[in-house]
Structure 1
Amino acid sequence: MKEEVKNITREEIFRTIYEIKPPTIFLSRNKNISAELFDRYKEDIEFKDIPRHVVDAFLAAEDEDFFKHKGIDLSSILRAIVRNILEGKIVQGGSTISQQLARNLFLTRERTIQRKIKEIIYAMKIEKELTKEEIFSLYVSLIYFGNGSWGIKSAARNFFGKDVKDLTIAESALLASLPKSPVYYSPINYPEKARARQLWVLKRMLELGSISFDDYRKAVDEKIRVRAWESKFHKYFWFNEHIRRELVNLIGNEQDIKSGFVVKTTLDEECYKYADEALKYGIERAEILNGQNIAKSAEDIKFKIKEIIFPEMHKIYEEEKKPSIARVIETSASGIKIVLDSGEKGNIHPDFSNIKLKVGSEILVKPCPDPKFFCPIPEKIEIEGAIIVLDVKTGDVLCTVGGYDWKKSQFIRSIQAKRQIGSTIKPIVYTAAILSGLYNPATVVKDTPIVFEYESEEGETKEWKPKNIESFSGWVTLQEALAKSINAATVRVAEDVGIGKIRETFKSFGIGAPVEDLTVVLGSISLSPLEVSEIFSTFPNNGKKKKARFIISVERNGDVLYLQEPEENQVITHDISFVMTWMMRNVVLHGTGARAKALGIPIAGKTGTTNDLRDAWFVGFTPNIIVVVWLGRDDFKPIGNYGSGPKIAVPVFVEFMRKYMNKIGKPDFDIPENIEFLKIDPLTGEISNDPRAYLMAFTRENLPTHDEKMNKDFTGF
């Protein structure tokens, strides 16, 4: 056994400590550190800078005879041996502070007799080479306290927002409670267990004579504000987790990526914050609208905790997520009125005016994104969602959120989930129609019931009858068919253009799904939100499709190991891309995306809803960003009666843009010289000054075949 333990000197010990590799850091596009990856992390502290009561707290918790023994405590080891024999396995270590330092520096954490013997030998060697003060300061610099905190400096800062020198006795006892099991005694996740352990440490300090009885009583009763610190990696989890996985692919393995790389990413922190808030709001809203029970107590819901006040265990929630108990005092056609437990009166958001609530019932609410109203909080979350935001000009992914709560699932739906896209595919179908030369936005299309016969795999003749969400209108323009997402008209257009032209256009946009029958034109194919964002980048980017980029470069020691330049390819002409953009602009102005019109900026987009309301989509874009929103259930069950793209996906987009548009401004789409605008009746396709008529965009080679034309001086949106 001894020959397996290397001989160590004072220099060897410190060399091992200083060989702890620097962390890998992720940098946002704003040059801020957005994440750190490391195996171990250290912040040096000298013994003279540690208050005596902090030292005493750790001695009481971990090794009361530290300043007396020579590295091992035989009585502790004997107690551990007896218990391990009784249990038939290693369940208790009996390790001194010196042994723990030895384990952290030279050994693994496996629980075996052999490792324990090595630990004892190394501890005695360390005791010969270092002073007790050096051993203690190294120990508290290297141990893990949980919640991303390595070392006592980090723990004091993250849990209390303090320097070590400012820690109180009560705070010191709480920190000293954590190294034994940072997860089990987490003061945020398990405050009662942490409190019990803290009281035990304080009692041991009293019994050991480290503190007086008065100090003990004050510490027991002291109010401590424990912060729910969140690591930067978890703050931007969905984006950072994808970067981490990509880095593994680039570098080779999980271990190597944690040492000294500088990864420059495309993340915009504001974008992530607003996207995360908007998606959570949208999912909670969708749950309530689709029949989920409203919560009655804050204890039923896992709200984001800002801090916990000991010893009362009073939880303070993030201000924007602060829940309140409300009592319903009035329900009427004008809305639902409530009074909070604080006495404040308010109104439930009009979106929820149809939910059934009785006067006198108590519900849990929180402020809506629109602060004039309160939103009910669902009892549980079963609907999921995703959002991804792409920079049109570079392809940079500014942010992505892959689900409601990463702690429940790390499946990044915005990137990994392949879902049927429904009517979101229609702009590609209509692009094929425009490219064919058979159609322009004013071309009148028949919107009546249509039946297709096909032979099943069993050889039976069956029928496919495309249905509209609303009733059939008889005749509509191509523009109106897209704006209102009319299925029957779309299928007729595709049949006329031909499956070959549809297949060719899909391929040019990079859609690899097989195009074998007309069901694809209503979105029977499955794509991820990431793929959808790349496809739609073609329209605002003058016909050029962008490749999404998350990582700009990877560097180490000043050397660039990986560099990704923006990539794009020309799919359609600028003229055609603008015609399609203008058609999708009218989806927002006059069609299924009308809720986004209230933002008051140039927006184009397309909604999507799949069969049985399983998936809800909205793709919205401005001249500089694309936002893709998806909501659905992981088990592919229907969302509910209120599960369409216009009803639950568009509101997520609106909520995100309401905040983020202040950063991106209100630019107009570029209008090519070859574009002419005419005011067209959306039902007849004729040039008209009728109030229902609106502007449509045409290339000069594909104008309406009417004798009369309007000269329209158009300068922007």
Structure 2
Amino acid sequence: MSFLHFLVRSAILGLFGALWLIAGVYLYLSPNLPDVETLRDVKLQTPMRVYTREGDLIGQFGEQKRSPLPYDEIPDQFVKALLAAEDDSFFQHRGIDIMGLARAVSELVLTGQKGSGGSTLTMQVARNYFLSLERTFMRKFNEILLAIEIERALDKTEIFELYFNRVFLGHRAYGFEAAAQVYYGKGIAELSLAQHAMLAGIPKAPSRNNPVSGPEAGRERRNWIAGRMLELGYITREAYQQVLTEPVTAELHGAQISFAAHYAAEMTRQAMLDRYGMGAYNDGYHVYTTISSELQQLAKEALINGLLTYDRRHGYRGPEQRWPIKEGDATDPIARWGDKLAKIPVIAGQQPAVVTDILEDRVSLLLSDGSSDELLWENGMSEARPYITENSRGQPPEAPADLFQPGDLIRLVRNEQQLWQLAQVPAAQGALVSLNPDNGAIISVVGGMGFELSKFNRATQAMRQPGSNFKPFLYAAALEAGFTAASIINDAPVVMEDRSLEDIWRPENDGGVFHGPTRLRWALTKSRNLVSIRLLQQLGTGELIRAIDRYGFDTADMSPDLSLALGTHAMSPLEVATGYAMLANGGFRVEPYLIDRVENLDRQAIYQARPLTVCRDCDEKPVTGGAQELSMEEILAADNDRDEAMPAAPRVMEERANFIINSILQDVITRGTGRRALVLERKDVAGKTGTTNGPMDAWFSGYNRDVVTTTWVGFDNYTPLGRREFGGTAALPIWIDYMRTALENSPDQQRPLPPGVVNVRIDPDTGMLAGSRQKNAIFEYFREENVPRQGTDGAEAGGSQGTGDLVRDIF
């Protein structure tokens, strides 16, 4: 009895001691515990996602791959798999599992080592959100106390949701929805029971149990979890057996990008970083751009096809790299080549391959996936005339050995018969940018042959001389200053000593031919350099710079010399396209923009673009400032009437001058340097080619009322394109290929004649009004106050007070 009393007293004292110890630990730790209420407003690091205007994903940026889901979107089957793996009594306990903790303590006492730890899901939430991963008793006490506090503050589904979306699961995947995308390329709701069990087994050892890095360990853990689910009555035996037999099919998947639009996505990333700082990467923004899914893909294809076509005209440059077999090297060359080949990216659909053997009518190949194949002589090799210079090619090869040797890295594409065809990545580069001329929205943008090849965005970053592509702005400024489309300028040699050019300057027309007195319409249609220079000489460089500054160009570092007439001031394709948007929309200045709307993690709009928008029926009043940003309240109000919410674009070119310059640029298509565009069979397109000395840069910018597009082709290192390469041969075909589809839904309609513009008969040689009996007379547009007053036959064509007697052709 004495011994029994001793045991009872000892137990009571031990209980009180334990209670005092727990109370002491609680009093010591509780003041320093974080506020669990912050979990209600926890901000998970979630990557930024970038979409087209149709909602197709084109980019994802962020350090952590995460796709948070609310509890009601988590499949019940996965909930049970995770409970079986981690905490099957989760919905019954109050934050801690007494039996689990007792088991953990007994393992520590009996083995001297820490075992399972007895952590519940709630305790893991406490650790993941508030504590470090150090394995100490103090951290464990904090974890237990926090778990109890979390259970008081949140309900079970909220706690489960916090765990589901936060836990690390290997390969930068945080949360199970992100892990489903990373390992299976699907949402978690689309996965099988075996795949759910596989994911549920990862948290125990993310690096070892994930199905890519450790498929066997992952399979073992998966099968154990399925067994637990069977024991708990979550699944049937048939379902359990099916899990055991299902193979591990996981592999790494990137973000589920709908299609490649890397340059547009990168522009958006930079703009978001400028706007929101580093939070852009982690705050879960959904960014909707102005990019058209269909036209963006088309723009990429058109640019690549155009560069490939240009490249084929100039010959085959040989293998991309050479990895020869070294004498005395005992290593297997196939294995060495395979290792190197695995690091070579696919560029514009062109597959890399290594030549392993040379035969009489074919070569043997090693492909990047480790397989072998063949390239037949007739599939590109027989036509591979070697590149010598941009202006010359060598003789066609006579056998494969003339082209290749073992170890050569080459490029291949599939032909219509699905056989390999010899290809090469073009050395020339290009850009395409397309805008909505009424508000500056960027419809599509491609900054080069491939983002894999170069991340330099030539559409926005390449500053190149536009050449004759700039001339329409000179002629528009002249029209506004009082010149007419019929003004006569002498197309004759110019030799001048210009201080700003620091040399004697002798500009020439293409071909070195001079045509004498020339009407401005014909000079721009045929892109006469000497007329443009003499026109600028009469207009004045200061007047031109003031005009193009008004048109929206950056003139801060523009040199005021006569070479401006030939487009020597470097500009980006985006800047050029923006200028042409002003020509296309009737003379209103717009600003290019890419981000239309930004939503936060909860899909609430936090930014809505308010671009300067053409409003032809509005009173023409000057507008200060540019595009605007809406507050949340303004966004909601603007949703009711978007049109009224947009600030009106200011008119920067007189309407009548704009009409006349547009009619001249339509002549460029029908009778001038842009005649290739007649293949579109449209009457409403207008545009201008551009070619710089060398030729070094080839341009075409063109438009109708709904779409404006600029294309550019050139070399990054400023080498010449070739003496037979011009804007009309290198850049215009790309524009045509793109605009053929871009204009499909745009009606072919002519602009109405604005008030104050007349169409009268003139003498094409003098630009004066034609006599009533003159047979070679042509019609020309004039602003009423600029109509010539005297015909060639001496007859009075109109009085000084007006133009009432003029012959008009208004349509």
TM-score, L = length of structure 1: 0.68
Q: Secondary structure of the residue that 1:545 maps to in structure 2? A: coil
State whether residues 540 and 578 of structure 1, in contact with CA within 8 Å, keep that contact through their aligned partners in structure 2: no
1:35 & 1:27 partners in 2: Cα distance? 7
1:699 counterpart (767, 783, 789): 783
48 and 13 in structure 1: CA distance in 2 versus 1, 3 angstrom threshold: farther
The reply on whether 1:419 has 2:485 as its aligned counterpart is no
2:69 counterpart (43, 57, 62): 43
Q: Secondary structure of the residue that 1:667 maps to in structure 2? A: coil
Q: Secondary structure of the residue that 1:620 maps to in structure 2? A: strand
- Residue 576 of structure 1 deviates from its aligned partner by 0.8
2:468 & 2:209 partners in 1: Cα distance? 50
195 and 114 in structure 1: CA distance in 2 versus 1, 3 angstrom threshold: closer
The reply on whether 1:242 has 2:267 as its aligned counterpart is yes
State whether residues 288 and 294 of structure 1, in contact with CA within 8 Å, keep that contact through their aligned partners in structure 2: no
Please name the residue that 1:15 is paired with: 40
Q: Secondary structure of the residue that 1:429 maps to in structure 2? A: helix
The reply on whether 1:270 has 2:282 as its aligned counterpart is no
- Residue 604 of structure 1 deviates from its aligned partner by 0.8
For these two proteins, the number of residue pairs brought into alignment is: 638
Please name the residue that 1:87 is paired with: none
Return the index of the structure with the highest Cα Rg.
2
2:434 & 2:527 partners in 1: Cα distance? 23
The reply on whether 1:584 has 2:665 as its aligned counterpart is yes
| Between structures 1 and 2, the one with greater strand share | 1
- Residue 624 of structure 1 deviates from its aligned partner by 2.0
- Residue 104 of structure 1 deviates from its aligned partner by 4.7
Please name the residue that 1:482 is paired with: 524
- 1:197-236 superposed Cα distances (whole Å, 9 cap, x missing partner): 4356447768999799x9899656x77797665347x855
- 1:99-155 superposed Cα distances (whole Å, 9 cap, x missing partner): 9866752369xxxx9799998777676788789999998655434679996533344
State whether residues 48 and 284 of structure 2, in contact with CA within 8 Å, keep that contact through their aligned partners in structure 1: yes
2:227 & 2:348 partners in 1: Cα distance? 37
State whether residues 287 and 381 of structure 1, in contact with CA within 8 Å, keep that contact through their aligned partners in structure 2: yes
- Look up the equivalent residue of 1:604 and give its one-letter code: A
Please name the residue that 2:710 is paired with: 628
2:548 & 2:171 partners in 1: Cα distance? 47
State whether residues 58 and 173 of structure 1, in contact with CA within 8 Å, keep that contact through their aligned partners in structure 2: no
State whether residues 272 and 399 of structure 1, in contact with CA within 8 Å, keep that contact through their aligned partners in structure 2: yes
The reply on whether 1:597 has 2:638 as its aligned counterpart is no
301 and 265 in structure 1: CA distance in 2 versus 1, 3 angstrom threshold: closer
- Look up the equivalent residue of 2:671 and give its one-letter code: H
- Residue 581 of structure 1 deviates from its aligned partner by 0.8
- Residue 245 of structure 1 deviates from its aligned partner by 3.7
2:140 & 2:726 partners in 1: Cα distance? 65
Q: Secondary structure of the residue that 2:471 maps to in structure 1? A: helix
Q: How does 1:629-668 map to 2 (within 5 A)?
A: 629-639=711-721, 644-668=726-750
Please name the residue that 2:655 is paired with: 574
Instruction: Choose 131-140 or 609-618, whichever is displaced more.
Output: 131-140
The reply on whether 1:230 has 2:272 as its aligned counterpart is no
- Residue 583 of structure 1 deviates from its aligned partner by 1.1
1:23 & 1:145 partners in 2: Cα distance? 16
1:643 & 1:707 partners in 2: Cα distance? 42
2:574 counterpart (530, 535, 542): 530
- 1:636-688 superposed Cα distances (whole Å, 9 cap, x missing partner): 44455565422222222212212221233323333324444568898886979
1:249 & 1:599 partners in 2: Cα distance? 41
Q: Secondary structure of the residue that 1:50 maps to in structure 2? A: helix
Please name the residue that 1:431 is paired with: 476
State whether residues 471 and 565 of structure 2, in contact with CA within 8 Å, keep that contact through their aligned partners in structure 1: yes
Please name the residue that 1:447 is paired with: 491
Q: Secondary structure of the residue that 1:467 maps to in structure 2? A: coil
Unmatched 5+ stretches in structure 1: 60-66, 80-94, 187-193, 307-312, 317-323, 338-352
The reply on whether 1:467 has 2:508 as its aligned counterpart is yes
Please name the residue that 1:344 is paired with: none
Q: Secondary structure of the residue that 2:497 maps to in structure 1? A: strand
- Look up the equivalent residue of 1:401 and give its one-letter code: V
State whether residues 509 and 545 of structure 1, in contact with CA within 8 Å, keep that contact through their aligned partners in structure 2: yes
Q: Secondary structure of the residue that 1:385 maps to in structure 2? A: strand
55 and 357 in structure 1: CA distance in 2 versus 1, 3 angstrom threshold: farther
Q: Secondary structure of the residue that 1:415 maps to in structure 2? A: coil
1:542 counterpart (582, 586, 594): 586
127 and 107 in structure 1: CA distance in 2 versus 1, 3 angstrom threshold: closer
Q: Secondary structure of the residue that 1:525 maps to in structure 2? A: coil
Please name the residue that 1:342 is paired with: none
- Residue 422 of structure 1 deviates from its aligned partner by 1.7
State whether residues 194 and 222 of structure 2, in contact with CA within 8 Å, keep that contact through their aligned partners in structure 1: no
- 1:158-198 superposed Cα distances (whole Å, 9 cap, x missing partner): 7444645633758976997899899x999xxxxxxx86643
- Residue 375 of structure 1 deviates from its aligned partner by 12
2:470 & 2:125 partners in 1: Cα distance? 60
- 1:597-627 superposed Cα distances (whole Å, 9 cap, x missing partner): 2112221112222333443322111012221
- Look up the equivalent residue of 1:623 and give its one-letter code: R
1:413 & 1:117 partners in 2: Cα distance? 58
Please name the residue that 2:215 is paired with: 198
Instruction: Choose 238-247 or 575-584, whichever is displaced more.
Output: 238-247
1:96 & 1:355 partners in 2: Cα distance? 75
Please name the residue that 1:610 is paired with: 692
Unmatched 5+ stretches in structure 2: 1-27, 88-99, 114-118, 229-236, 321-337, 351-365, 385-391, 404-409, 599-604, 607-630, 639-644, 798-805
TM-score, L = length of structure 2: 0.61
2:70 & 2:592 partners in 1: Cα distance? 41
State whether residues 145 and 179 of structure 1, in contact with CA within 8 Å, keep that contact through their aligned partners in structure 2: no
1:467 & 1:115 partners in 2: Cα distance? 81
Share of identical aligned residues, percent?
Answer: 22
Q: How does 1:363-378 map to 2 (within 5 A)?
A: none
State whether residues 47 and 136 of structure 1, in contact with CA within 8 Å, keep that contact through their aligned partners in structure 2: no
- Look up the equivalent residue of 2:649 and give its one-letter code: E
Please name the residue that 2:328 is paired with: none
- 1:675-716 superposed Cα distances (whole Å, 9 cap, x missing partner): 44568898886979999998654434445665489968574x
1:638 & 1:185 partners in 2: Cα distance? 56
331 and 287 in structure 1: CA distance in 2 versus 1, 3 angstrom threshold: closer
1:506 counterpart (524, 541, 548): 548
356 and 598 in structure 1: CA distance in 2 versus 1, 3 angstrom threshold: farther
518 and 291 in structure 1: CA distance in 2 versus 1, 3 angstrom threshold: farther
- Residue 427 of structure 1 deviates from its aligned partner by 0.9
State whether residues 81 and 225 of structure 2, in contact with CA within 8 Å, keep that contact through their aligned partners in structure 1: no
- Look up the equivalent residue of 1:43 and give its one-letter code: L
1:314 & 1:126 partners in 2: Cα distance? 56
- Residue 541 of structure 1 deviates from its aligned partner by 2.2
Q: Secondary structure of the residue that 1:441 maps to in structure 2? A: coil
- Look up the equivalent residue of 2:68 and give its one-letter code: K
1:105 counterpart (124, 129, 135): 129
State whether residues 306 and 733 of structure 2, in contact with CA within 8 Å, keep that contact through their aligned partners in structure 1: yes
Q: Secondary structure of the residue that 2:745 maps to in structure 1? A: helix
641 and 295 in structure 1: CA distance in 2 versus 1, 3 angstrom threshold: farther
1:377 & 1:697 partners in 2: Cα distance? 53
State whether residues 209 and 221 of structure 2, in contact with CA within 8 Å, keep that contact through their aligned partners in structure 1: no
238 and 696 in structure 1: CA distance in 2 versus 1, 3 angstrom threshold: farther
675 and 152 in structure 1: CA distance in 2 versus 1, 3 angstrom threshold: same
State whether residues 326 and 364 of structure 1, in contact with CA within 8 Å, keep that contact through their aligned partners in structure 2: no
- Residue 580 of structure 1 deviates from its aligned partner by 0.7
2:199 & 2:776 partners in 1: Cα distance? 70
1:51 & 1:486 partners in 2: Cα distance? 74
